[in-house]
């Protein structure tokens, strides 16, 4: 476990896999953990992977100023993590809201980013992408999504009391993977460890983080020069694949793939995402290093 301090004095927890290889920083989905990325946790991944636990989650402090939970504050945390761990440049592997953070980081610190792997997310306007496969009209997506987050904040204390009492086992994982929200491609041995930790959130705080993320507006991506790969889920109800494709179209050099999965692609298709990351690295200045590791 890593402990470091961000620019505003907030003390945060982080994680590093302790392996050698190309440096990778995971800009994770909101309130998720490294367990969501099994191919970066296993030995011999070929990547020196690190991440942090977002403000107020999994042992990271809440900021003294409770308003300091915007995407820009998470960007400062990413920078503080890299500085603390002596990582000069890294490929940023991002998921969901973490995609917003990754592109904002690339905008503010382009010299620190080797490339971006953006999974099931778009850089800004995230809540306006929700509900695509459910045929929710586009103009209603953001109002409905923010209303759901506000409702989550209202019932947060009750959820915080109830969630840890729900048993999490293979049966639970099977049920979750058959809801349509997540798909059966996600194996129980991957889903269970992540769920066990995820269920222990303070759900009122989680909803507050989500509402802050909703304020991050769609970005003009003309600044992007580093290699980028975007991956969307065909059945993703939280980030429409059509928005992922539209985002990719604004970055001429971007690679884009759509997988037959949900929002939880890191758990459903870890092998394919590893292939996507390997291919992305080959397009970066770290490609030669990756080749040396592979040959060994």
**pLDDT per residue over 123-140, tens digit each?**
987 666 666 666 666 665
CB 268 within 8 A of CB 186: yes
- C-alpha separations of 161 from 62, 126, 206 in Å: 20, 29, 14
The answer for residues whose C-beta is within 8 angstroms of residue 171's C-beta and 6 or more apart is none
Token look-up 């980013």 returns 113
Prediction pTM value: 0.92
Q: How far apart are CA 186 and CA 199, in angstroms?
A: 17
pLDDT along the chain (296 residues), means of 10: 96 95 97 93 91 97 96 98 98 97 98 98 76 61 69 85 92 90 92 92 93 90 96 92 94 95 96 97 78 50
Confidence (pLDDT) at 289: 53
Q: What CATH number corresponds to the domain at position 214?
A: 3.40.50.1820
Range of the domain at 150: 2-295
Helix H or strand E encompassing 47: strand 47-52
- Looking at the structure of the chain, the number of domains it has is 1
**What does the block give as tokens for 161?**
């009391």
Tell me the angle at which helices 270-282 and 287-295 cross, rounded to the nearest 10 degrees: 120
Rounded to the nearest 5°, which phi and psi values hold at 241?
Answer: -60, -25
3-state secondary structure of 232: strand
Reading the block at residue 223, the tokens are 């600044």
> Given this model, what pLDDT does residue 162 score?
92
Residue 154 pLDDT? 87
pLDDT of residue 128: 64
Give the integer Cα–Cα distance in Å for 290 and 285: 10
The Cα 90–Cα 112 span in angstroms is: 6
CA 65 to chain centre: 24
Rounded Cα distance, 270 and 262, in Å = 13
What would the pLDDT profile of 10-46 be if each residue is shown by its tens digit?
A: 999 999 999 999 999 999 999 999 999 999 988 888 9
DSSP-based three-state secondary structure for 8: coil
Q: Within 85-137, where are the H helices?
A: 97-108
- Residue 50's DSSP bridge partners are 16, 25
What span, in angstroms and rounded, lies between the C-alpha atoms of 35 and 44?
16
Residue of 264, 247, 100, 241 whose CA lies nearest to 176: 264
């Amino acid at each position: 476990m890593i402990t470091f301090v961000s620019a505003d004095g907030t003390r945060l927890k982080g994680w590093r896999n302790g392996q050698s290889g190309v440096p990778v920083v995971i800009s994770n989905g909101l309130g998720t953990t490294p367990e969501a990325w099994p191919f970066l946790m296993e030995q011999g991944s070929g990547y020196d992977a690190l991440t942090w636990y977002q403000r107020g989650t999994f042992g990271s402090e809440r900021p003294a100023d409770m308003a300091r939970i915007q995407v820009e504050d998470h960007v400062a945390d990413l920078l503080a993590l890299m500085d603390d761990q002596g990582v000069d440049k890294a490929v940023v592997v991002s998921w969901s809201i973490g995609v917003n953070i990754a592109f904002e980081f690339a905008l503010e610190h382009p010299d620190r980013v080797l490339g971006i792997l953006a999974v099931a997310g778009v850089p800004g306007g995230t809540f306006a992408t929700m509900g695509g496969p459910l045929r929710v009209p586009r103009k209603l997506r953001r109002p409905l999504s923010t209303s759901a987050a506000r409702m989550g904040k209202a019932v947060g204390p009750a959820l915080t009391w109830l969630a840890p009492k729900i048993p999490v086992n293979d049966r639970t994982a099977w049920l979750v993977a058959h809801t349509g929200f997540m798909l059966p491609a996600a194996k129980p041995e991957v889903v269970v460890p992540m769920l066990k930790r995820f269920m222990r959130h303070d759900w009122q705080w989680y909803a507050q983080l989500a509402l802050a993320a909703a304020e991050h507006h769609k970005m003009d991506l003309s600044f992007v020069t580093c290699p980028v790969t975007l991956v969307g889920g065909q059945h993703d109800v939280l980030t429409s694949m059509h928005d992922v494709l539209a985002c990719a179209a604004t970055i001429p050099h971007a690679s884009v793939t759509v997988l037959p999965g949900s929002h939880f692609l890191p758990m459903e298709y870890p092998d394919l995402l590893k292939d996507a990351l390997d291919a992305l690295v080959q397009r970066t200045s770290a490609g030669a290093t990756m080749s040396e590791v592979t040959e060994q």
